[in-house]
Structure 1
Amino acid sequence: MLDAQDIPTTEAMAPTASIAINARFLTRPMSGVDRVAIELTHAFQRQMTDSSSALRYLLPSKPDVLTAPIRPLGGLSKLFRSRPGTGHRWEQLGLPKMLDRDEWLLSLCNTGPLGVRRQAVMVHDAQVFTQPESYSWRFRTLYRHLLPRLARRADVLFTVSDFARRELESFGVFPTGKAVVVHNGCDHMDRISADPNALSRFGLSQNGFFIAIGSQAPHKNLDLLVRLAAQTKLDVPIAVIGDVNTSVFKTVSGRSDHNVRLLGRVDDSAMKALLENARALLFPSKTEGFGLPPLEAMRCGCPVIATTGGAVPEVCGQAPLYAEPDSLHDWVNAIWLLDENKTIAGEMRARGYAQADKFTWDAAAEKILKTLESHDAQHQSRA
């Protein structure tokens, strides 16, 4: 476990306006939501170096947490740990006690303490309401109880797409008009070096496979890939990255008759190498609050065949080929078009690069910081 003195620091900043990050995300294996929080923290530190703001990172401390994988973030000003408890218990009881007077608390991963009003919360989607089968009863109950109350209590709300904002408002989670939309970035892919041995390690070749990135949640719709591989004559395998549901892929074991290969979790370097060399990313989710993998793929020059579900069209624009999430016919046609049209892959790469350039973490962080500054300015003008 890292202590504050282990974290690199930037030049000292006058603490006239301070922000505390709810850093629970540093104490668990990285999810997509955690990726967003980590990349935003990098961007905050870059943007606040020359400002008058101070930045602190607050996380729980308990023996079982001390052994969790803590990923150091270059340039953090200070990292603080506290008791009691871990997880949601710490977030509700321990975290509020760590805050300084007039300090903003920034909770980037859906949840935060109900007892803190001077807080900005980022809620990424409404899927506990729209896709309940993807979550346990306990998780659904907690989020359905907590999120609306937290959204009413917090001074500032963020979400990651207009689609997510509309859904959160329609389910009564967000008060209408309160949330600010901040799109994610994808330029973290630029700093990752591709693993030159990834293809050989997984038995794949350049342009000789499709890639998919997902999880075991049913709304990720990875069972469509099994049907796609089983009912069509793909000349190359589909390589699936992530923790997948083995009941969905129960006939799949490494190399299967259905031509699907389960690679499991891979590190960022391997993922970049796979994206740079895949024929295309297949992204069949039924819904997404944002949909980061297609943008990551575009940043790496990988053509994308994407779902029409959720926020994906909003985020991806005209760059991908689209297919309805429940239409196997659409997916077969899109793959056929990509294979038969010799120029379309290059056109998709060009459109993808242009689309990905619109989404940077610095722009996202700047919008968040300016929103907090604007809130404080309005509050002071009314005082």
Structure 2
Amino acid sequence: MTTSSGLVINGRFTVQSLSGVQRFAGEITRALARIWPEGAPSPRLLAPPGRLTESDGFGFAVEQAGRLKGQLWEQIDLPRLAGKRVLLNLGNTAPLFVRRQFVVLHDAAVFAQPQGYSWKFRLWYKILQMVLCRTGARFVTVSRFSQREIARHLGISADRISVIPEGGEHIRQTPADTSILDQHHLTGQRFVLAVGNLAPHKNLRALSTLARALDERGIPLVISGGANPSVFGAAAVLPHPALYVGRVTDGQLHALYQAASCFVFPSLYEGFGLPALEAMACGCPVVASSIPALQEVCGDAACYADPADENDIMAGVQRVLDEPGLSAQLREQGFARAALYTWDRAARALLALTEGAGVA
């Protein structure tokens, strides 16, 4: 895959609501802009029509072009606009019939956790990714675990999938907005924090035993994120009692991480596990599921619990709260671990791939 005409970044993420995939795309794009070689032609960041989701920009100028939106824009308008340049797709999807392109696949959840997605979504993603495997697309993912999972489910060699890290420093660089602590009467109070939604693989329902145990001690379980059962189905279970603060800004999330006595992350499946890295970057002790991706990212900087065992999760959190010196040890190890994962490091790894394709 070689070209002398430069790089185009698929900017569909710039008009999408912010979730983990869009976070990755935005932060890696800003980091690419910071480290882009002086004198080299800048990439074109192409986006569909619509309202941009970030007011502070993405490092490169956003060019909104085309007449379509969503998947149709990506499949029809984007290839025409990109021309013969190499296309960089950062968010799991890409045009089917572009020969020279990179595609970042964050995980294989649509195969491994199908209950979390509608049948239409599953069908489209499976068709899309399987067709891309039979083109010249080069794949990138965010952990060794995801590399193995994607290769297994798509039936391709792991050698076709490059691995780059994610970063967590963005949350620490956003000034903490402590008004959320005052608003919910958390200032100066011990509390345990969880971040997620009611998608089945996020496993928030496994915090029910913990919530009751903490309540008996007068310690709130605070949950941030989408927690509307109407979105995730009647089977969604809300841990009770808990304090639900809803979706928060980065500044508010920074304040919550910074003030929490412990962060608990009970996921059944992750491709990377960005919230755990964010918590460590903010000095919050982490209790994480003993699943491969989180063990890969957190290393020895977290306590682990079986996500299928509510009592084990409760015991892990109570250990962090009560064992002398453990909380301070996890904070120190968490800072050191988080320092290994930065967006600039991730961007350099991605840039090295594009340089290998002759586009930088």
| TM bucket, shorter chain | over 0.9
What is the match of residue 235 of structure 1?
218
**Which digits, 9 at most, give the CA deviation of each residue in 1:229-285, with x for residues without a partner?**
236634311111111243567677xxxxx3311111000000000000001111000
What is the match of residue 261 of structure 2?
279
1:313 to partner: Cα distance: 0.2
Report the secondary structure of 1:271's partner residue: helix
Q: 1:25 corresponds to which letter in structure 2?
A: F
Gaps of 5+ in 1: 1-14, 253-257, 378-383
Q: Is the 8 A contact 2:207 2:313 kept in 1?
A: no
TM-score, length-normalised on structure 1?
Answer: 0.87
Distance (whole Å) between structure 1 residues aligned to residue 174 and residue 33 of structure 2: 19
What is the match of residue 183 of structure 2?
201
Distance (whole Å) between structure 2 residues aligned to residue 149 and residue 16 of structure 1: 26
What is the match of residue 78 of structure 2?
95
Q: Is the 8 A contact 1:26 1:71 kept in 2?
A: no
1:342 to 307, 324, 333: 324
Distance (whole Å) between structure 1 residues aligned to residue 188 and residue 133 of structure 2: 47
Q: 2:275 corresponds to which letter in structure 1?
A: P
Distance (whole Å) between structure 2 residues aligned to residue 195 and residue 156 of structure 1: 40
Distance (whole Å) between structure 1 residues aligned to residue 33 and residue 286 of structure 2: 32
1:31-46 map, 5 Å: 31-46=19-34
Report the secondary structure of 2:64's partner residue: strand
Q: Is the 8 A contact 1:151 1:175 kept in 2?
A: no
What is the match of residue 166 of structure 1?
148
**Which digits, 9 at most, give the CA deviation of each residue in 1:331-364, with x for residues without a partner?**
1221221222121100000000000000011111
1:371 to 346, 353, 358: 353
1:41 to partner: Cα distance: 0.6
Distance (whole Å) between structure 2 residues aligned to residue 356 and residue 251 of structure 1: 30
User: Does 1:177 pair with 2:159?
Assistant: yes
Distance (whole Å) between structure 2 residues aligned to residue 367 and residue 69 of structure 1: 26
What is the match of residue 7 of structure 2?
19
2:68 to 85, 90, 94: 85
Gaps of 5+ in 2: none
TM-score, length-normalised on structure 2?
Answer: 0.92
2:192 to 202, 210, 219: 210
Q: Is the 8 A contact 1:119 1:154 kept in 2?
A: yes
Report the secondary structure of 1:170's partner residue: helix
Report the secondary structure of 2:53's partner residue: coil
1:1-383 map, 5 Å: 18-48=6-36, 50-61=38-49, 66-67=50-51, 69-73=53-57, 75-76=59-60, 78-101=61-84, 103-172=85-154, 174-230=156-212, 233-246=216-229, 247=234, 258-376=240-358
Give the fraction of aligned pairs with identical amino acids, expressed as a percent: 36
Q: 1:52 corresponds to which letter in structure 2?
A: A
**Which digits, 9 at most, give the CA deviation of each residue in 1:44-64, with x for residues without a partner?**
101115141321111112xxx
**Which digits, 9 at most, give the CA deviation of each residue in 1:17-39, with x for residues without a partner?**
52211011111210100000000
RMSD: 2.0
**Which digits, 9 at most, give the CA deviation of each residue in 1:86-140, with x for residues without a partner?**
1111100010010143x22100000000111111100000001110011111111
